[in-house]
Each structure stands twice: as structure tokens, then as C-alpha cells.
Amino acid sequence: MSQETNTIKPLHNYQHLSDLFVQNERMVRDFDQNSVETIGKGSFGHVVKARHVVDEKVYAVKIIEITGNESKLWEAYMKRIREVKVWARLDADHFVQYRSSWLECVGSHDSTSRCSLGYTLYIQMDLCWFTLKEAIRKMRTHFVRQPKQCWPELGAYMAGELLIEILEAINFLHALNPPIVHRDIKPRNVLIKGGPGARFVKLTDFGEAVEHKSESQTHTMSVGTDKYMAPE
């Protein structure tokens, strides 16, 4: 990929799909289009759930647009590839199970490059029940807890168990060789999914994660979500 600083027209400036070349054959071929439903949105893009046409299992698919001028496009591309590589290493019950990923081109018909506008990255993963943020809201409703009130005993026990599983997942990351630093732990990035003998807590979203390869490295300066960033 060239790193020349050419200006690329943003996707939202194209009013008609016919103006674009979008290579989305795999998403159309492998998933029942009538089952596709958006279940989450963020600055990265959005997440849908969809039923696979072969195994008929419902998966979550994270869809990320990688766009910008050539230099920023390369930087964004490498960041997302790093996310996939980190996630693919994490074959453990502490994390949302990574299944597959693929890149598709987005370009304009009047361009000589089929990827002139950038790429769309798809990350296929197991579908979970809901986020920790939603779980907290459900617990407040179930245990009739108002802000600044103490949890009832059962609610406090459940919250403690969830916290233990979050800490165990973080400890697993830090015990790897090389260790992985998540850098964006927050309720939206903690998913809940149960099952026989399975853990409830699943960490997800490794877009800010990095491998720690040197004691001199610092990783948490101005990275993450403001309300949940490390105090240093």
C-alpha cells in the first residue's frame, strides 16, 4: 500500500451506491441477509448479528471502515491488523471467541484502484448475551437499587463474582509471553455469556491492545476512554 499523501473522498460524500465499488461477496455469500441485525455502534464502526448459511449458527460480526488519506489509511490499516492478530492469539474462555476475519475493498468506479477509498474489515466472533453496561442496568432494576445506594447482599455477591472474572481475564493477558495490555477496559468491552461450566465474563475489543515487549515501554498515555483511563 502506498504511503503518498493523496486526498481520498470520504465515503459519506458519495450519495449513491452506484458511485462505489464495494467488494462484499463473502458477507453476502456466507450469511443469511434476512438475519442481519445491528446490535452495536461506536466510533470504530458497528456490530451486527447474522446467521451463517452453512452451520446455521448466529455470529456477531464487527464491521470497521478503514478510510482516510494515504498516510492515515496505512496507519489505520496497521492498527486494525494488529487488533486481529492480538485477538487470534487469545484462545481462552476469558475472551469472546475469534472465528475469522477478512478485508474487502471500497473504491469509486472512476478510479484506477479498486481500493481507492479504503477497506472494510470484518471480524467474525461468537455472539454474547449483552454487555456489562447492560448487566449493571438490569441488576439495578432487579434489585431496585438507586444511584448512591448500597447493593443488596445478593447483588453485591454477583457484582463481586463478575469483578473477579474481569481481573482473571486481565491477569491472563498479562501472563502471556509477550504480555498483552488491553488499554480500554470499560463496561461496553466486557460481554456476558453463560453456558455449562463456562465463565460469564468475556473481554472483547482489542483495537487499543498492544504487546508489552520492553520494560521501558509505556502504553497508557492518552489511550483508552476518558472515564475509564488509568490515572497516570
Q: Return binding residues.
A: 62
Looking at residue 126, its amino acid is D
How many other β-carbons are positioned within 10 Å of the β-carbon of residue 215?
A: 5
User: What whole-number distance in Å separates Cα of residue 171 and Cα of residue 189?
Assistant: 16
96 touches 128 (CB < 8 A): yes
Annotated binding site for ATP: 62
62 touches 47 (CB < 8 A): yes
User: What whole-number distance in Å separates Cα of residue 120 and Cα of residue 111?
Assistant: 17
